[in-house]
Amino acid sequence: MNTTSNIWFDFLRKLCKNRAAVAGFFVFLSICIACALAPYLTKWDYFSIDTTIVHAAPSREHILGADNLGRDIFSRLLYGGRVTLRIALVSTSLAAAVGCAAGLIAGYFRGRADFFISHLLDMLASIPVFMLIIVTEASLGWGRGYFMYALAAAAVPQFAMLVRASAMNIMGCTYIEAARALGVRHDKIIRRHVLHNIAPPLIIRFTSGITEALVICTIMGYLGVGINPPTPEWGALAYTGKAFTRSHPLLIILSSAAIAVCVISVSLFGDGLRDALDPRE
């Protein structure tokens, strides 16, 4: 077994010992799978209205009851989760991909590339995320989920600066200088040496990015800037349930709980990753 395999085996061993991190991972994975399998877990459409069961209590037919328009709450939670989780995961993945590429170019090649990219990232980081969201929605169309591109753009500087700093630290190592002296191509150096060393902080930052995107996505839905009805989204469901907090609190409780459980589970997993990747542990 080579050195790289030993490092990752040791990482997995440490991670599996952290019960909170493992539990957080499986809880979040279970929620993602349940939302992905929504058409198979419920027979009700999320948009079907039945005025005869308005605010119906949980039953065999509607296991979580019905909302103010007689729509099945369970199906709306599952389909709403598909929207919220998709926006959070896609926006974070886009930010990680673009930020990693920009950070690698700036940190590896330095010089003019670093100067240009760093100033561009500073300009982007200075723009409030909510302003980016409003401009994106106004430009591309309201209520269609395009704000996930604004979420991605707002998160790019954080990924890029992290990768840039990590790459600059690695570039000062002797084995990088030796590889360059031997005429090893840039793409091979980046793939074999740089990416391997920046992976741990990048993975941790990715989990943090998911939680941030989840929170901002639900805030947008709560403020009515998210997805147009009747398509459900967890933030919008919480906003709808707010009007019936005292008389029928189940909708706001369940939608808020779904958001909280996802954020907490991803945070626990991210903390476990940080501890497992810490060489001092």
Sign of the four-CA dihedral 105, 108, 111, 114: positive
Cβ distance 269 to 211 under 8 Å? no
Rounded Cα gap, residues 202 and 100, in angstroms: 8
DSSP state of 228: P
Q: Give φ, ψ of 268 to 5 degrees.
A: -65, -40
> If DSSP codes are grouped into helix, strand and coil, which group holds residue 98?
helix
Identify which of 259, 209, 262, 253 has the alpha carbon closest to the alpha carbon of residue 235.
Answer: 259
**Alpha-carbon separation of residue 42 from 39, 45, 64, 78, 146 (angstroms):** 6, 8, 11, 9, 28
Residue 162 structure tokens: 């992290």
pLDDT at 229: 80
Rounded Cα gap, residues 270 and 22, in angstroms: 10
Residue 135 structure tokens: 């401009």
Is this model's pTM higher than 0.85 or not? Answer: yes
Which residue type does 241 have?
A: G
What tens-digit pLDDT sequence spans the chain (281 residues)?
Answer: 455 566 667 778 888 888 999 999 999 999 999 999 999 999 888 888 888 888 888 888 889 988 888 899 999 999 999 999 999 999 999 999 999 999 988 888 888 888 899 999 999 989 888 888 888 888 887 878 888 899 999 999 999 999 888 888 877 777 777 777 777 776 777 777 677 778 788 888 999 999 999 999 888 888 877 788 888 889 888 888 888 888 888 888 999 999 999 999 999 998 888 888 765 55
> If DSSP codes are grouped into helix, strand and coil, which group holds residue 72?
strand
Rounded Cα gap, residues 137 and 122, in angstroms: 23
Identify which of 21, 81, 44, 42 has the alpha carbon closest to the alpha carbon of residue 258.
Answer: 81
CATH assignment of 10-44+62-277? 1.10.3720.10
Q: Give φ, ψ of 279 to 5 degrees.
A: -65, -15
Cβ distance 228 to 144 under 8 Å? yes
Residue 113 structure tokens: 């590339």
Identify which of 27, 18, 2 has the alpha carbon closest to the alpha carbon of residue 278.
Answer: 18
pLDDT at 1: 47
